[in-house]
Structure 1
Amino acid sequence: MRSGPYKIIIGLALWLITPVETFAQSILRDAETEAFLHESSDPIFRAAGLTPQSVHMYLLHENSINAFVTGGQNIFIHSGLILAADDVTEFLGVMAHETCHIACGHRLRRGEAYANAGTASILSMVLGAAAILAGGTDAGMGIMMAGQSVAQGQFLAYTRGQESEADLAGAKYLETVGINGEGMIRFFDKLRDQEILAQVRQDPYVRSHPLNRVRILQLQQAVETSPSYQKPPNPALEEKFQRLKAKLMGYLYEPRRTLRKYPPSDTSIAARYARVYAYHKSLEWDLALTEAKALVESEPQNPYFYEIMGQILFENGRVRESLPVFKQAVDLGPREPLIATAYGQAMVSLEDPDLMEKAIPILEDATRQDSGNTFAWFNLAKAYAWSGRDAEASLATAERFYSAGVPMMAVMHAQRAMESFKMGTSEWLRAQDILYVSQEAAEKLEKQRRRQERQRRLSFED
């Protein structure tokens, strides 16, 4: 977990993951957000002939408007895109469009932009995509984020023909699942005005997804003939989307700005969500807890509301009080590894031997469900060490650094684990896998570093 200004809001439902401090962007992880992304988008993936479990979505902490596909079936969404969408149909319009880039087999157009991207950025994309496809999600993200041009969409550009195909296919996917495609048109209309701006002032989505009036007219014709034309958004999905927007605003914006948008007079769940984060960031613990309790009272079977209340108590030093609240969240959301991780973290932080033992199966289950959860691995390693299970602690630490994209540290701890486990056991074999993959990744990164150093020296000499 990253230290500094984000430390006080660690976990408050949203987890800020930064594998290496120098990366320009970070992955925002939140149990409720990830559940919404799949609930809303999986029908679109199925309509496109994709297997939803094979499509991975990542929310990036980035204010600009962008979404892009890379490394196979991986969709990256900027937080700014969600905040810019007025309703869930606008967001799903973009998701439908991006889905075609996967299902239609579009390849990125490189050309001049490719040449300008730089060897390091291109290599980082290739290595990161390979790592993700091999199952090391966070490791792949770590490598990819090293090439900032990838995440910023500097050379992710599609041809206009591909864009038109994605528009029409996306509209067809939306029609298949009964969603009004007008949201896609409205969102693209917002971006079309940026075409006249200098490239440096354009949002990345405009640069990588060229827009023009002909495209929008073609899309409008397809949407207006759909049986779902002018159909209002699904009320349940719309409510969840507005909650997600409020959470993101509260988490990312300055409290004053959030409270202007969601004043105390607004008692909607979305507004309370936003104020929980705003008050928490302002260190107004009592006000944050009051809003969290109101959320729990409004929906007593909602695990995410208990998660937020537990996290506020935890962050305010009331750790033991947070335990039953976290337990309730886990009981209500047994398939939410991020919630289980928060519960395990609270137990481990008390450094109580009995709680350490109880935390181990909870954190083990979290890592089984989400093998790229570096914070779960960190707390599990600590619990193992406190319980005298040093071999397991070494393997868990190796898993942590492997997932975080820190290959040299993964190599060191994998070697320790192999020395501790009996040869041929499942634990020994897993440590060996991490060792071999991390050694190869470390060698490639070292070659990349040397190449960059040579390029810098040549540039200096010139």
Structure 2
Amino acid sequence: MSAASDPVKRRPGSERRLILRAPRAVAAMVACAVAATAIPTPAAAQRMPLIRDAEIEQVLRDYTRPILKAAGLTQQNIKVIIINDRAFNAFVMDGRRIFVNAGALMESQTPNQIIGVLAHETGHIAGGHLAKLRTELSNASTIAIITMLLGLGAVAAGARSSQVGGNPAAVAIAAPSAMIQRSLLAYQRQHEEQADRAGVKFLTETGQSARGMVETFKRFSDQQLFAAQGADPYLMSHPMPRERIAALQEIGRTQYWDKKDPPELQLRHDMMRAKLSGFLDQPGVVARRYPLSDQSLPARYARAISTYKHSDLRQALAQIEALIQAQPNNPYFYELKGQVLLESGRAAEAVPPLRRAVAGAPNPLLIQVMLAQALIATNDKKAADDAIGYLRQALVADPDIADGYAQLAKAYGQKGDIAQADLAAAQAAMARGDTRTARQLAMRAKERLPVGSPGWVKADDIASFRPPTEGGRRQ
């Protein structure tokens, strides 16, 4: 993973190990596979509630790869986006992204349980249930989607309290969100049933059990049973809980029903949950969940992270060294060590373990950004060239790493290349959703870049961008 930012006070390098930028974030509305929960006020939209982490994202890629292949979606480059919210939830909003809450990852006790949820969401995409959203959202940024969901949540919250009419903010949000709301409500009950069936089909074709999907949705239905009592089933966007679970249990009992997850996959799942707990939970919670008597690798991982976040740096480094001794080839332990050193102001010491992590991780893009940050923080102009190489490689492969552009701006600034620094800063602002600042920086970059050069063209694209709310066309 890359560096984590604190949920309250942002640490340096927010878009690396764990990005934790909202104390409470998005829970899906009616388009979720697992149910709608409360969504915070629009102010939270300014604090993107996403989590980026190399290790966790790799686990989720490995979970979804066979499912996407069975669904015939391998070429669509579908990504799983992690939301920093403790509710158990997952949903889709377009044909390119599956959103899953950190709470769903932490509460899923087995890989099969979360894989079942991902298979269901894949069923929505494969079934073409998103046609009404694709035109508007296929090119929308992740930030834009979350912002729209947050706005919808505010409207829903106002409606529940009968205050929407008297709430100017809610009324203002309601108008631009109307299309999204209509599209979300277009999720009919049969779409959920079809996604369930498709999910079971994908699991069966990949030799996996549907038990986890049934267990997950049964837990959810138990939570929602009281809310569904007396409800008109024809006004619900999801099937009634008892009906849905009964249907799932019937179709889900395939020849793989009793098949267990491989031990190595279970360990990776447990490590993912431990990491999330270490970063997200308070020390007391971590201590209860992973007491000192538990000497398993996940427990030691969670305690090492929690020790660093809330306790003694020297003790944390000792615990991380012990983890490295236990698994000398685990790149994410080196990443954690590099993060701890970097965020403690020891950038030069952070470089070697981060280089080791980059060399060993299967998809090290986020770690490359952290390594670049460490190189930049050494204030060595020669290291800046190295950092630019890492950053450009990472951003070509994943343009959504907003901090990558911010670090690129710093690196060019160290080299005295102000034009490229302005362009990178403009790209960082665009990635954050701050189009006004992005356009200002892009205009400044255009003045310094040769007319017609690749950099000038990029700057011109940003400078001329107008979001739909400003009356411009999408670029």
Q: TM-score, normalised on structure 1?
A: 0.82
Residue type at the aligned position of 2:284: R
The 3-state SS of whatever aligns with 2:464 is helix
* 2:300 alignment partner, one of 272, 276, 284: 272
2:6/2:20 contact within 8 Å kept:
no
Distance 1:268 1:348 in 2: 36
1:7 corresponds to which of 5, 10, 35: 10
In the other structure, the counterpart of 2:224 is: 195
Provide Cα deviations, 1:221-247, integer angstroms capped at 9, x if missing partner.
Answer: 2222x2212011122222111111111
After superposition, give the CA deviation of every residue in 1:289-318 in whole Å (9 maximum; x if it has no partner): 122112212222221110001111122222
**Hey, what does 2:327 align to over in structure 1?**
299
Partners of 2:48 and 2:381 lie apart in 1 by 37
- Given the superposition, is the C-alpha separation of residues 443 and 358 from structure 1 closer, same or farther in structure 2, using an over 3 Å criterion? same
Instruction: Report if the CA contact (8 A) 1:408-1:442 is conserved.
Output: no
Q: Distance in 2 between matches of 1:242 and 1:319?
A: 30
Aligned residue number for residue 247 of structure 2: 218
Residues of 2 paired with 1:212 and 1:49: CA distance? 29
For 1:14, give the aligned amino acid.
Answer: L
Aligned pairs (5 A) from 1:10-89: 13-16=17-20, 22-23=44-45, 26-51=49-74, 53-89=76-112
| CA shift for structure 1 position 3 | 7.3
One-letter amino acid of the structure 1 residue matched with residue 215 of structure 2: R
- Corresponding residue for residue 452 of structure 2: 424
Q: 5+ residue gaps in structure 2?
A: 26-41, 160-180, 229-235
* Aligned positions of 1:154-169 closer than 5 A: 156=184, 158-169=187-198
CA pair 402-442 structure 1, distance change in 2 beyond 3 A: farther
Indicate if the aligned counterparts of 1:306 and 1:328 stay in contact, CA closer than 8 A: yes
Cα deviations by residue, 1:93-149 (Å, 9 ceiling, x for unpaired)? 11111111111112599xxxxxxxxxxxxxxxx7xx768633x63453465355252
Superimposed CA distance per residue, residues 220-274 of structure 1 (whole angstroms, 9 cap, x where no aligned partner): 12222x2212011122222111111111111111111111111223222211221
Q: Which residue of 2 aligns with 1:116?
A: none
| Distance 1:183-1:142 versus aligned 2 partners, 3 A rule | closer
The residue aligned with 1:350 is 378
- Paired with 1:209 and 1:244, the residues of 2 have a C-alpha distance of 30
TM-score by length of 2: 0.80
> In the alignment, what sits opposite 2:388?
360
* Partner residue in 2 for 1:140: 144
1:45-95 deviation digits (Å, cap 9, x = unpaired):
111121265212210011111111113332111111112212111111111
Instruction: Give the SS at the match of 1:15.
Output: coil
Determine helix, strand or coil for the equivalent of 2:370.
helix
Compare 322-331 and 154-163 and name the one that shifted more: 154-163
Distance 1:53 1:239, change over 3 A: farther
Conserved? CA contact 2:58–2:363, under 8 Å: no
Q: Distance in 2 between matches of 1:84 and 1:7?
A: 26
Q: Aligned letter for 2:55?
A: E
Task: Provide the rounded CA distance (Å) in 2 between the counterparts of 1:44 and 1:436.
Answer: 40
Paired position in structure 2 for 1:170: 199
Gap change, CA 1:31 and 1:8, over 3 Å in 2: same
Amino acid of the structure 2 residue aligned with 1:105 = G
* Post-superposition offset of 1:321: 1.4
TM-align CA RMSD:
2.9
The alignment status of 1:321 with 2:349, answered yes or no, reads yes
Q: Give, as a single letter, the amino acid of the residue that structure 1 aligns with 2:244.
A: R
SS of aligned partner of 2:20: strand
CA deviations on 1:186-237 (whole Å, 9 max, x unpaired) are 11111111233348xxxxxxx864442232222212222x221201112222
> Aligned equivalents of 1:427 and 1:328: distance in 2?
32
**Equivalents in 2 of 1:255, 1:46: separation in Å?**
40
Aligned to 1:114: none
Task: Return the alpha-carbon distance in structure 2 between the equivalents of residues 138 and 229 of structure 1.
Answer: 35
Amino acid at match of 1:347: L
Distance in 1 separating the partners of 2:156 and 2:316: 34
2:115 equivalent to 1:92: yes
Q: What is the one-letter code of the residue matched to 2:153? A: S
The residue number in structure 2 matching 1:377 is 405
**Distance between the aligned counterparts of 1:169 and 1:95, measured in 2?**
11
Q: Which amino acid counterpart does residue 18 of structure 2 have in structure 1?
A: L
Change (3 A) 1:107 1:350: closer
Count of paired positions? 417
Looking at structure 1, the residues matched to 156 and 301 of structure 2 have their Cα atoms a distance apart, in angstroms, of 29
Q: Of the candidates 183, 186, 189, which is equivalent to residue 215 of structure 2? A: 186
Q: Equivalent of 2:470, from 443, 449, 460? A: 443
